[in-house]
Structure 1
Amino acid sequence: MNHKYLSLLFSLLTLLSCTRSMNNLPATAPAALPAFDKEGHRGARGLLPENTIPAMLKALELQVTTLEMDVHITKDKQVVLSHDPYMNRDYVLQPNGEEIPAADAKKHILYQLDYNQIREFDAGSKRNPKFPEQQPLKTYKPLLTDLIDAVQARVQQDQLPQPFYNIETKSKPATDGLYHPEPAEFVKLLMQVVEEKGIAPWVIIQSFDVRTLQVLQQQYPEVKTALLVENLRSLEWNLEQLGFTPTIYSPYYKLVSPKLVQDSHAKGMKVVPWTVNELSDMQQLQQLGVDGLITDYPNLFQKL
């Protein structure tokens, strides 16, 4: 009888080991975030099409410690990388290669499309006009599952340090049911992917929408959270709206002051501002004692 149970236990341990191996994850989770967190915004938006697999792999090549990305939910309940809730005509082409007409600028809503429809749009051949250095290439909006697989394969292939995944839930109360599901469902679908891929110890969930962070705190308290801030309210006011102390306080970089950094550290939070694209600003923020930076140009980290 004991032999039977030992055999079953061995089989379960082997299965868990194989699962971890398939995802190319290291055997143990890091105890804490990097001492200074170098985050590639939407991968490397200044260099390659945003929120795509090539952009994330480029960021890895540039030795970021964290891959920052945005996610939405599709009609068929899959988690897809995208900042905009619809196909942005500024840098997305229709499946036939033509531009999206101005009249249809917000027509192709991701939450109202199955992923096989989303996959057909070209999310990279038309360069984003805001980023003249961006290299255009034909690519698509990937599923989070596919992105994780591609990243973990590259980590193993090139023997790279395990990166963190900073995943933003794109939601707000005014667009529940139109651009995205309500927070509880959004978080459930996202965390299903995170847990399936075994990356929870390396995940940060960030949002401007305190509701998704509150769901995470209640249901997945072990997951790291980051509160995104772009308002002029005080640190205390923003934390009061959230209702708990997140792992990271992540303000727009121009809102950072010595006092904000000091007060955040006093509450046990790291400060990681967004989105810093000038080397001089990066250097100034580093001198203020921030714990990391989010940038569209991760190649600038090499100059810090």
Structure 2
Amino acid sequence: MTKIFAHRGSKGTHPENTLPAFREAVRVGADGVELDVQLTKDQELVVIHDNDVDRTTDGTGEITDFTLSEIKQLDAGSWFKPEFSGERIPTFVEVLTCLQEEGFTGILNIEVKTDEKEYPGIEAKVIECLNQQEWSFQVAYSSFNFSTLENLAELDPTREICHIMYAKQSEIEMVKHVPFISGVHPKITWIQENPEQAVTYPLPLRPWTVNQVGDMLLAFELGLAAIHTDYPEQAKLLLKSYQER
């Protein structure tokens, strides 16, 4: 059965990568939760997608321009809807704790955002946080950056490591032969263009970002491992309807 991963929490209905978005993902029964981690100026792990704060807060500037205390002063909710006014960029630990408190038992997909900016040592920091206690959920690492995946494989070989990629056939073929890669997260366009390859691909496929009903149904019909979607509640309902046909 195809699993439903909530992309940056329930990104379509709540401000992305905020605690309300993650709580909503758990509430609707998402099988997985995806988030993005980056480092502040003072080397603190925060959960935000872009390299700057411009799009998803009332501030401007690169994440590395802010200390944690400074970035915590920004409003990360009003841009989405007034009702989320005052929401803050969460730390990685805050999200882990939130998911634990909400009783999440699925897979947490941690995207390490090193595809555009280098964060030396970020892999060790993520692992250090995870090793502080036992969690109610499983963990998978993912990144566009192959070097980051190599570092994660060396530092924490027991957890799943997944390569995120665009629709490049060469990359899809290459990772088949990498021993430490246990899953592939391609852009949905590759699935659309190569359904026959998707069915026989030797590693679990979890495409992004699957928001259209037709794409969701295609993933279900192909029996893909999972999809990443901004609308996990809609996807769960559609999957239930599909299974009952």
User: TM-score, length-normalised on structure 2?
Assistant: 0.88
What is the SS of the residue equivalent to 2:5? strand
The residue that corresponds to 2:75 in the other structure is 122
What is the SS of the residue equivalent to 2:201? helix
Kept in 1, the 8 Å contact 2:36–2:48? The answer is: yes
Structure 1: distance between partners of 2:102 and 2:124 = 27
Structure 1: 4+ residue segments shifted above 3 A: 134-137
Kept in 2, the 8 Å contact 1:47–1:135? The answer is: no
Residue identity in the other structure for 1:281: D
Unmatched tracts of structure 1, length 5 or more: 1-34, 95-99, 101-107, 129-133, 156-160
Structure 2: distance between partners of 1:189 and 1:145 = 11
The residue that corresponds to 1:225 in the other structure is 161
Aligned residues: 235
Kept in 1, the 8 Å contact 2:166–2:187? The answer is: yes
The residue that corresponds to 1:273 in the other structure is 207
The residue that corresponds to 2:51 in the other structure is 85
Kept in 2, the 8 Å contact 1:239–1:245? The answer is: no
Deviation at 1:136, TM superposition (A): 4.2
The residue that corresponds to 2:224 in the other structure is 290
The residue that corresponds to 1:69 in the other structure is 35
Kept in 2, the 8 Å contact 1:251–1:274? The answer is: yes
Structure 2: distance between partners of 1:295 and 1:255 = 16
Structure 2: distance between partners of 1:224 and 1:85 = 25
Structure 2: distance between partners of 1:118 and 1:244 = 38
Which runs of structure 2 are paired with 1:170-189 in the superposition (5 Å)? 170-172=113-115, 175-176=117-118, 181-182=119-120, 185-189=121-125
Structure 1: distance between partners of 2:76 and 2:160 = 30
Kept in 2, the 8 Å contact 1:39–1:292? The answer is: yes
Deviation at 1:238, TM superposition (A): 4.3
Q: Which has the larger radius of gyration?
A: 1
User: TM-score, length-normalised on structure 1?
Assistant: 0.72
Unmatched tracts of structure 2, length 5 or more: 240-245
Structure 2: distance between partners of 1:248 and 1:297 = 22
Structure 2: distance between partners of 1:71 and 1:114 = 15
Identity %: 24
1:302 aligns with one of 220, 228, 237: 237
Structure 1: distance between partners of 2:66 and 2:179 = 35
1:259 aligns with one of 196, 199, 202: 196
Structure 1: distance between partners of 2:180 and 2:205 = 12
Q: CA RMSD in A?
A: 2.1
